[in-house]
Amino acid sequence: MSPPRQPGIPHPRLPLPEGEEDLVAFQRWLEAAIPMVEALGITRMSQANGALTWQLALTPNLNDKGTGFGGALSAQATLQGWCWVTLWLRQQGRAQDVVVAEASQRFLAPVMGDYRMTCAPSHPDGPSQLAAKLSERGKGSIELTHQLYCGDLLCLEATGRYAVLPNA
């Protein structure tokens, strides 16, 4: 086990991938870099067709009513967006910092069992627009959409704008 994180001290970056990203290694790094991640119940990450999908366990995210705690679901959506942008940057060979600029959620139905959450660009041209901004100015942002499903039931929709900061 690594020593606990200390405020004000950045966690070392994960080396850029040579080829396809190892999402298991990325998740292990993420759990070390952001201590609360280990408690969020992420059981699997996958990427396909421009989307990042997580499988999640409900048990660590229960509220007092026995359903999904809204704060945990919001945190998961925010983190997933950060991961989507970070993984996209890594695929572009870029190691830049990402921050959430704004986020909103709509809770549509209670989460009553294990669930999956997907994250993808809100607009099909979002990644190409971000790439152009990064090329021109070294910084940019992208809007992402999250959907949380419990079985086939859509329980949460969220959007977030994530900013890529210029290199120091």
* Average pLDDT per block of 10 residues along the chain, 168 residues long: 77 87 94 93 96 97 96 97 97 95 97 98 97 97 98 98 92
- Options 3.40.50.10710, 3.90.550.10, 3.10.129.10, 3.20.20.150; CATH for 39-164 is 3.10.129.10
Provide the residue ranges of all domains of the chain, joining segments of one domain with +: 39-164
**What pLDDT score was predicted for residue 19?**
85
**Which among 72, 71, 100 is positioned nearest to 85, based on CA atoms?**
100
**What pLDDT score was predicted for residue 157?**
98
Give the integer Cα–Cα distance in Å for 104 and 139.
23
CA distances from 163 to 29, 64, 140, 141, 143 (A): 21, 34, 6, 4, 9
**What pLDDT score was predicted for residue 1?**
55
**What pLDDT score was predicted for residue 4?**
76
Number of H helices, E strands in the chain: 3, 6
**What pLDDT score was predicted for residue 2?**
60
